[in-house]
């Protein structure tokens, strides 16, 4: 019998902070909120990401599509070469395998909620261009 997802109510403070700070990936931190390896969920994964002033998630690709919802700050999203300014209240849909990244050129922290249509965040394989 297949395990069924359960309701989950959580906060970023309850989840460990993870992140990257290197020339290949950029400088970004996140809290994974929902992922089948840490929560009893099976069809979506989601979290909250933060970019400090000057921070960036470098351009990359992954198979699943993704949604960003910006809830604090401003930044620049680049999708397949096209840059767009985003701010609190902006929703961004990123098609699967589209090259994309986001950067914070402001003096305040940029925070966004992200969602993948896959049961575990570990299933999302980030592919960065070779440097």
Question: Is pLDDT at 12 greater than 50 in this prediction?
Answer: yes
Residues 6+ apart with CB under 8 A from 93: 65, 66, 67
Please state the domain extents for the chain. 17-119
What is the tens place of the pLDDT at every residue in 114-125?
A: 999 999 999 999
Task: Find how far residue 100's CA is from the centre of its chain.
Answer: 11
At residue 59, φ and ψ (nearest 5 deg) are -55, 135
Domain 17-119 class, CATH top level: mainly beta
d(CA 71, CA 32): 16
Question: Is pLDDT at 100 greater than 90 in this prediction?
Answer: yes
- With bands split at pLDDT 50, 70 and 90, how would you rate the model's confidence at 20? very high
- With bands split at pLDDT 50, 70 and 90, how would you rate the model's confidence at 1? very low
Mean pLDDT, range 51-57, rounded to an integer: 98
Query: pTM (2 decimals)?
Result: 0.94
The per-residue pLDDT for 2 is 56
């Amino acid at each position: 019998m297949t395990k069924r997802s359960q309701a989950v109510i959580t906060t970023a403070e309850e989840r460990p902070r993870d992140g990257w700070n290197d020339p290949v990936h950029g400088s970004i931190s996140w809290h994974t909120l929902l992922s089948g390896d840490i929560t009893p969920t099976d069809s979506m994964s989601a979290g909250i990401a933060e970019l400090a002033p000057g921070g960036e998630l470098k351009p990359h690709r992954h198979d699943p599509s993704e949604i960003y919802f910006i809830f604090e700050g401003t930044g620049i999203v680049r999708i397949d070469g096209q840059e767009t300014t985003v701010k609190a209240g902006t929703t961004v849909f990123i098609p699967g395998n589209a090259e994309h990244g986001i950067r914070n050129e402001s003096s305040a922290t940029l925070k966004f909620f992200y969602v993948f249509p896959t049961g575990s965040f570990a299933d999302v394989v980030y592919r960065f261009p070779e440097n």
